[in-house]
Amino acid sequence: MRVLLIDDHPLILTALQNVIQGIGNHVSVVGVGGARAAREALAAGDGGFDLMLLDLRLGDADGFELLAELRAAWPAVPVVVVSASDRSADVIRAIDLGAMGFVPKRASNETLQEALHVVMQGGIYVPPMTMRSEGEPSDAVSHPASHAMPVPPVTPAAALAAFKLTPRQTDVLALLLRGLSNKLIARELNLSVETVKDHVAAVLRALNVNSRTQAVLAVSQMSSQGGIAPWQPRPPSR
């Protein structure tokens, strides 16, 4: 596995390289100090990376803008944000821009390794957090979105039973968490786009959230680890 690590602090870059290489014997890490070097590494390797880790505060670029750029140019390569910030607003924005994980730098080495394992298995990782209403200040006392607070570890399927989703709504949510658009979900499940829209709206109501991103974050909190392990929808009915 080849990993591109983007962080402009040399000491942190070295420390993260050591942690990532501890995942296994076949892990190769390329560390770069900024956006320009990241673009050069990707161009030189023709995008031949399996995972990218990105710091949001870089000396030569806005981290969120670079995240959007990386996801647009290399959509098959998952990006995990590793940031000194753990503000809910930053987590939400990163996931909304396509990050498959968000790990605060204060997290333990074991947490980072677990997060990377979840992401490489096709899941999503975010830190345990609560959800704030749109426009609420980051330091305000926050309120959970439905059952979005951390709970004892459970599987997504078991946790979602509490929301009483129908089997088809659960299928739609599984694909929604993989980042599929309504059109692609309709194709996967052999449904009309309008029907998918109805299912998505029902899922958001059940989770007591207002957007797909908030749904991702809410489901992620159903595990004390903060990770959403991948699960597959049922085969489409023909």
Residues in the chain: 238
Tokens standing for 103? 């790990």
For the CA atoms of 39, 45, 46, 52, what is the dihedral angle to 10 degrees?
A: -60
In whole angstroms, give the CA distance from residue 135 to residue 139.
12
Model-level pTM greater than 0.75?
Answer: no
Whether 149 shows a pLDDT value over 60: the answer reads no
Tokens representing 230 are 């991948």
pLDDT tens digits, 17-54 = 999 988 877 889 999 999 999 999 999 876 689 999 99
Q: Which residues of 78-110 are buried (b: 16+ CB within 10 A; e: fewer)?
A: bbbbbbebbebebbbbbbbbebbbbbbbebeee
213 Cβ partners below 8 Å, 6+ apart?
Answer: 92, 95, 96
- CA separation for the pair 1, 11 (Å, rounded): 23
Pairing of strands 61-62, 57-58: antiparallel
| pLDDT-based confidence at residue 221 (cuts at 50, 70, 90) | low
- Per-residue pLDDT, 228: 52
Q: Are strands 79-83 and 2-6 parallel, antiparallel or unpaired?
A: unpaired
d(CA 164, CA 159): 10
Residue 7 has pLDDT above 50, yes or no: yes
Give the chain's domains with CATH numbers. Answer: 2-125 (3.40.50.2300), 156-228 (1.10.10.10)
Q: What is the pLDDT of residues 58-97, one digit of tens each?
A: 989 999 999 999 999 998 899 999 999 888 889 889 988 8
> Mean pLDDT over residues 105-113, rounded?
90
User: What is the average pLDDT value for the chain, to the nearest integer?
Assistant: 79
What is the number of H-type helices and E-type strands within the chain? 10, 9
| The two structure tokens encoding residue 94 | 């990163």
